[in-house]
Amino acid sequence: MIKILTVIGARPQIIKAAALSRAVNTHFSDRIEEKILHTGQHYDSNMSDVFFQEMNIPQPHFNLNIGSGTHGEQTARMIKSIEQVLLEEAFDAAVLFGDTNSTLAGAVAASKIHVPVVHIEAGLRSFNMAMPEEVNRIVCDQLSTMLFAPTKTAMQNLENEGFFTSQATFADGNKRHIFNSGDIMYDNTLYYASMSDKKTAIVSQLGLNSGEYILATVHRDNNTDNPKRLTAIFEALLAIAEQKMVEIVIPVHPRTYKVLKTNEFNNLLDKIEKNRHIRFIPPASFLEMIALEKNARIVMTDSGGVQKEAYFFGKPCVILRSETEWVEITEQHAGIVTDANTCRIVEAYDLLVDRNIKFLPVFGDGSAAEFIVKNMLEVLQDISH
């Protein structure tokens, strides 16, 4: 029996873990034992606990309750605690998702004590080293025994960085293994799309008409913590709401709302709250977000996950960042990168709202989780022998 520790800590990782756990339980329960460790990186119950309940994800076997802090402080506490868990039980691998501090901590802790690291969503690059996520994903890739890349572009990034010709070896001479798995989030979107119709009525509860509103999310710290950037984004949303007379729904992230409530943003927040076309709603659950995405006319976001989900549902996307890891979206002309630039955001909306877009299947076939678990099992069995 192969024993894996799945490390999660932020909202998107909880969702991705659902797909992996389903694959383990459905197809490999007689060969793999999975335990889940929640670092507590997201400590707001609305942002994490609800996902375990709503999506039938097994409750974590370990909860570190790390909470917030500086990057170094948070990551250091995680490394120490994850190492302790790995040492207490004989795990055959640590499974990590994406690019958070939890990902980085899991990679460092496991690699130092020679537990193979499995990185899901390997090879993604923004090429912006000022992003903490970029640092995290690069370090995790370098420390990983198994890398599962979600797209051809991610595979190309790994090839460009020398991963395929690397002489790196791990404990006992084990080599690196690289796979093009498809995107595990596409699995989840397919699985939960019909469930959202049955379990949430958020669209009708909000009085929204399908295909007639914008869904917007803003949460990245380089937007929320920079007054000029945050102002530019919301000035664009105000302009679109006023000029186009279109409703904009914003599930407001706690960090974003906390910043907007400060004195510096009094005038801006007052304009937003007085605009009858802009509506703040509490953070949405995953199923609620799916329903909102499915029924939106267009999506505006600085979230990598929401960019992809918009694409999965055939919705154009205005990307409120200076770059995107998911270049397939822009290559298919389904998204435009605007950065935090008011004029460019408005222009992108005008360009995308009526554009005829072909949403080609560039993120796999919806069976990434099963592919990942099957190949992970084969590699780990070889290593253990």
Residues assigned a catalytic role = 219
58 to 17, 35, 120, 204, 209: CA distances (angstroms): 9, 9, 19, 30, 35
Spell out the residues 6+ positions from residue 50 whose beta carbon is closer than 8 angstroms to its own. Answer: 285
Q: For residues 240 and 230, give the distance between their C-alpha atoms in angstroms, rounded to a whole number.
A: 16
Spell out the residues 6+ positions from residue 256 whose beta carbon is closer than 8 angstroms to its own. Answer: 218, 219, 224, 230
Tokens standing for residue 175? 């080599």
Q: For residues 159 and 219, give the distance between their C-alpha atoms in angstroms, rounded to a whole number.
A: 31
Read off φ and ψ for residue 149, nearest 5 degrees: -90, 135
Q: For residues 82 and 5, give the distance between their C-alpha atoms in angstroms, rounded to a whole number.
A: 10
Q: For residues 48 and 14, give the distance between their C-alpha atoms in angstroms, rounded to a whole number.
A: 7
* SS3 state at 97: strand
Helix 368-384 and helix 11-27, axial crossing angle in degrees, nearest 10? 70
Strand order in the sheet with 93-97: 62-63, 32-38, 2-8, 93-97, 117-120, 146-149, 177-180
Beta bridge partners of 214: 248, 298
Q: For residues 366 and 249, give the distance between their C-alpha atoms in angstroms, rounded to a whole number.
A: 29
Spell out the residues 6+ positions from residue 359 whose beta carbon is closer than 8 angstroms to its own. Answer: 311, 314, 332, 334
Whose structure tokens read 């076309």?
277
